[in-house]
């Protein structure tokens, strides 16, 4: 009788031991599978090949610029539409969006980005903000860019990251610029820009759209995407990233605004 009880006890202990071993192996296997999986949102790039070459920083899904502004800017209403060479008539009063670059601002942007040549710094994404004023006539929005600020960004060929320090630095630069201007001529941040270098097309990626929705959602706020190597650029407005038209304007025309 006693021998039988001992046999049962040994069998029970062996069973418990085997169950514990099985649980440990299952847990280890699950941890290994978790480590081996790479979530899609943690991969940078346009396609899988780019993703393997250029892993994103951990903060990739955060907006590229964080703005916390308590002021509400009101665009200026014009008494007539703004004309420029090549402007198409708008008899149906459709929504139209124009990013109108002054000569000074556009030259500064091209110099910043080493436009038309390939350099070490412009082979990675760069970015900054657009400074100017906003006007409108009926359903036409005119975003006049009078200056640009290039951020000292952290980037690779498929991603650019802005930090709070970079944003604070650009705010300080804007304040310095406005100190020399009359109140009615002071500039605001009317949008942002960033590059898609090398062979990348110019478009709004998912991260770009997130940045636009969170920080530049006003109808008149612009996002300019530039490829300095292929001389391509496109501009988008508001939280829906409606595509607009970029126009190069003379300083004389801008001074009227």
pLDDT tens, residue by residue, 20-58? 555 555 544 444 443 333 332 222 223 333 333 333 333
Residue 251: per-residue pLDDT: 41
More confident residue, 164 or 83: 83
User: What average pLDDT does range 111-118 have in this prediction?
Assistant: 90
More confident residue, 157 or 230: 230
Q: How far is CA 232 from the centre of its chain?
A: 17
Question: Beta 188-195 vs 127-137: how paired, if at all?
Answer: antiparallel
- The 3-class SS string of the chain reads CHHHHHHHHHHHHHHHHHHHHHHHHHHHHHHHHHHHCCCHHHECCCCHHHHHHCECCCCCCCCCCCCCCCCCCCCEECCCCCCCCCCCCCCCCCCEEEEEECHHHHHHHHHHCCCCCCCCHHHCCCEEEEEEEEEEECCEEEEEEEEEEECCCEEECCEEECCHHHHHHHHHHHHHHHHCCCHHHCCEEEEEEEECCCCCCCCCCHHHHHHHHHHCCCCCCEEEEEECCCCEEEEEECCCCEECEEEECCHHHHHCC
The alpha-carbon radius of gyration of the chain (Å, integer) is 28
Q: Which CATH number fits domain 48-255: 3.10.20.30, 3.40.140.10, 3.30.56.10, 3.40.630.30?
A: 3.40.140.10
Residue 109 has pLDDT above 80, yes or no: yes
Residue range 200-214, pLDDT digits in tens: 899 999 989 998 998
Reported as a pLDDT band with limits 50, 70 and 90, residue 249 is confident
User: What average pLDDT does range 216-229 have in this prediction?
Assistant: 94
Residue 43: per-residue pLDDT: 24
Q: 21-30, 103-112, 244-253: which range is least confident on average?
A: 21-30
Closest C-alpha among 39, 100, 108, 69 to residue 188: 69
- The 3-class SS string of 102-113 reads CHHHHHHHHHHC
Residue 257: per-residue pLDDT: 36
Residue 226 has pLDDT above 90, yes or no: yes
Residue 241 has pLDDT above 50, yes or no: yes
More confident residue, 217 or 62: 217
- Percent of the chain past pLDDT 70, that is, above it, reads 65
More confident residue, 122 or 7: 122
Q: Give residue limits of the domains in the chain.
A: 2-37, 48-255
pTM of the model: 0.68
């Amino acid at each position: 009788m006693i021998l039988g009880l001992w046999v049962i006890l040994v069998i029970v202990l062996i069973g418990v031991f085997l169950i514990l071993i099985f649980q440990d192996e299952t847990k280890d296997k699950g941890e290994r599978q978790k480590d081996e999986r790479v979530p899609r949102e943690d991969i940078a790039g346009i396609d899988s090949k780019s993703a393997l070459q250029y892993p994103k920083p951990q903060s990739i899904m955060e907006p590229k610029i964080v703005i916390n502004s308590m002021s509400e800017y009101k665009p200026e209403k014009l008494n007539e539409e703004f004309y420029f060479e090549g402007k198409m008539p708008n008899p149906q009063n459709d929504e139209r969006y124009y990013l109108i670059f002054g000569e000074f601002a556009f030259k500064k942007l091209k110099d910043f980005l080493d436009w038309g040549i390939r350099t070490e710094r412009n082979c990675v994404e760069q970015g900054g903000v657009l400074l100017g004023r906003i006007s409108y006539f009926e359903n036409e929005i005119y975003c006049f860019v009078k200056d640009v600020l290039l951020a000292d960004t952290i980037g690779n060929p498929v991603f650019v990251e802005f930090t709070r320090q970079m944003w604070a630095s650009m705010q300080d630069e804007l304040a310095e610029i406005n100190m020399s201007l009359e109140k009615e001529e002071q500039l605001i941040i009317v949008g942002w820009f960033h590059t898609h270098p090398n062979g990348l097309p110019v478009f709004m990626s998912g991260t770009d759209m997130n940045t636009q929705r969170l920080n530049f959602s006003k109808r008149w706020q612009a996002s300019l995407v530039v490829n300095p190597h292929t001389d391509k650029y496109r501009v988008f407005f508001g939280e829906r990233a409606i595509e607009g038209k970029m126009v190069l304007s003379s300083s004389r025309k801008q001074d009227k605004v």
